Structure 1
Amino acid sequence: MGWGCVFVLLALFTLSDAASSTVNQDLTNIFEELWKLDVNRLKAGTDYKISLQGKAGYVAPGSTSAVDHASSPLFSQVDETKLSSITTYAHFMKLLDNYERSTGVAERVTADEVTENNAFLDAILDTSVMKRAHRYLVDKGKSRSNLRQFKNQLHNMWFRLYHRDRNGGEDSSGFEHVFVGETKFGREIMGLHNWVQLYLQEKEKLLDYKGYKAKNKDLPDEDDHVLNVQFSWHGLVKPVASAFIGVSPEFEMAIFTILFLTSTEKTTTAVVNLDQYQLEMVVHRHGRSIGTAYPKLLSSNNRHL
């Protein structure tokens, strides 16, 4: 994703509230079902605690520094024992060190990494969340009912390697971009929209949370499951990053898979109501694979049910 895409992403974050008026009810309905089925979602204040601190300021794309409005980490506590005891999280975390961070450097997938990818897919396919997503896609004619074929479809969307930097080999994948994060030309953070990776990178002191991003009329709080944040990572700054907080990897895989497969547009956006939030869900395709995917928080009614 180059500079043009950066400006596109920034534009998406500055859309007016009028854009939130057209809600995709079909996607809202299935995403709400998946939300209720996500028994592996961690509970804010109990399984993890976050510290929002200050509101981050404007940072130009490509910046290497930003005023720090958060002297402490975003995650003040995470129950790692619980995290590692849940099968899907345990398999998910094994995948996070399987990638070269910089684009332009060809990925080399080892036999062990292939085994880890398969184990993760098997684990999420065994959850109620992904089983419901599969049924939805079959009903829409977007997937086959055969579980092995659906698993291959997921693998090709998320794990098949492709060229993101034309000067390198097969250097990226949907999973790497969305869940792990990558850098381009040493001047741009791309992707990294997963809360577990944010936490683990912060714990290793490789990521420095700079503050939250929000409109003054809709300030976040510590119970929110969707946040817009700013952070630095390996000497670069991500001006705005959006991520679900506390949700399971199978939930994220399910909703972005549905959004990807139910559209043929290069960039798909859909406004949905989910729990207490109104979100703009965004998926950008890279051929037959996912290029990027993330939620953009439009508003929250600050009710925590």
Structure 2
Amino acid sequence: MVALNMLRKFGQWIGCAFFPSDAVIEDQDGWQTVGKPPRRTQKVPKETWQNYKRPSHEQEYSDEVEVGVSLEPSEDELADLSKACDKLWDLDLNRLVPGKDYEIDCGEGKKVFQKQDMAEGTLFTWVSDDVFRKPTFARFLSLLDNYNPHEGCKEVVTSEERQEQASFIEEISRTAPIKYLHKYLASKGIASGSYQDFKRMMTNLWFDLYGRGGTSGSSSSFEHVFVGEIKQSGEVSGFHNWLQFYLEEEKGRVDYQGYIFPRRRGETPDSETQLLTVQFEWNGVLKSLSSTLVGVSPEFEIALYTLCFYVGREDNHIQLGPYAVNIKCYRFGNKIGSVFPIAES
């Protein structure tokens, strides 16, 4: 099995630095652990992840969510993207509760140009193991080690990885945010009324490969937004997902360096905050400014960003529960080039 995995990834090693998976000893792959020592207080359960690579007829999924008529978008929501996004926030039944499901320590604040590390410890103090047993969370996590993060390195996608993608889309398609998204896009004539056609559309949007950094087939919307990439110029690009941040921080690859001061005084983030603007290093490469939603479910983020891509513009000024947010959405032809939240003042 080890030999097969080495052969499968061979195409990603040539001319590119190899990005370690959990099965590789980290100090032998060219990367260096940076910053603060990792906290391995939790183990991310992976016993079911291999099952996600099995053929579709062997997969087991959660029951369909039953929310009733609330999944039908109202006329107000169809006319106002902000109201539709706020409805998605309400429908995120898997969103975590700060203090109950996880705890963060924001440390001290800084301005973007300041170089010093303002955080003594890690951003995440702990995340409950139960979080990683949630079906959509577990299937999302199984996707994160499928990519070489170096921009311009051609991706090699195996049949097992394609099955992981299909399994993830099928799992989230049973949740309220994705069902609402489908009804919304179908009402607008953007998506087919067929749920199977809609799921294929979602798979293509998020996982189809396109060229970035001068190499075809080297990137995808999912890889850029959720996993992150390293530009040839030596900058972190993308990487806007809290689960990926937590896992990389646990492995010692992310060094959290503090939050960025809010534009408006008196709004200092704390352990309850679920929209953060932070600075960090990833494998020694600086991300000077990055905003992320903390504790939200994978299905919520997929639904939110898909909705803004198809219905919104580059700037989408919306409300998500208590947070005023600009969802910045860049297009790459008919794909998502990048999409991420920016906290509004």
Say whether the 8 Å CA contact 2:254–2:281 is kept in structure 1: yes
2-structure distance, mates of 1:123, 1:186: 37
Map 1:272-291 onto structure 2 (within 5 A): 272-291=318-337
**Count of aligned positions:** 266
Q: 1:84 aligns to what?
A: 132
Q: Give the alignment's TM-score, normalised by structure 2.
A: 0.75
Please give the root-mean-square deviation of Cα atoms over the aligned residues, in Å: 1.5
Report the CA distance between 1:186 and its aligned residue. Answer: 5.4
SS in 1 for 2:170: helix
Gaps of 5+ in 2: 1-77
Q: Which of 259, 272, 281 is 1:223 aligned to?
A: 272
Q: Which of 199, 217, 224 is 1:170 aligned to?
A: 217
SS in 2 for 1:117: helix
Higher alpha-carbon Rg = 2
Report the CA distance between 1:228 and its aligned residue. Answer: 0.4
1-structure distance, mates of 2:239, 2:150: 13
Q: 2:253 aligns to what?
A: 206
Q: 1:123 aligns to what?
A: 171
Q: 2:71 aligns to what?
A: none
Against the structure 1 CA distance between its residues 58 and 36, is the aligned structure 2 distance closer, same or farther, given a 3 Å change threshold? Answer: closer
Say whether the 8 Å CA contact 1:25–1:272 is kept in structure 2: no
Q: Give the alignment's TM-score, normalised by structure 1.
A: 0.84
Paired letter, 1:94? S
1-structure distance, mates of 2:176, 2:152: 38
In the alignment, structure 1 residue 34 sits paired with structure 2 residue 34: no
Map 1:185-264 onto structure 2 (within 5 A): 185=232, 187-215=234-262, 217=265, 218-263=267-312
For residues 209-252 of structure 1, the C-alpha deviation after alignment (integer angstroms, 9 at most, x for no partner) is 00001235022121111110000001111010000000000000
Q: 1:297 aligns to what?
A: 343
Q: Which of 80, 103, 112 is 2:151 aligned to?
A: 103
SS in 1 for 2:278: strand
2-structure distance, mates of 1:258, 1:37: 14
Q: 2:111 aligns to what?
A: 57
1-structure distance, mates of 2:242, 2:87: 21
1-structure distance, mates of 2:183, 2:293: 24
Report the CA distance between 1:25 and its aligned residue. Answer: 7.4
SS in 2 for 1:210: strand
Say whether the 8 Å CA contact 2:92–2:296 is kept in structure 1: yes
SS in 1 for 2:87: helix
SS in 2 for 1:239: strand
For residues 270-295 of structure 1, the C-alpha deviation after alignment (integer angstroms, 9 at most, x for no partner) is 11122111111111111111111101
Report the CA distance between 1:56 and its aligned residue. Answer: 2.7
Paired letter, 1:127? T
Report the CA distance between 1:59 and its aligned residue. Answer: 3.4
**Percent of aligned pairs sharing the same letter:** 38
Against the structure 1 CA distance between its residues 233 and 151, is the aligned structure 2 distance closer, same or farther, given a 3 Å change threshold? Answer: same
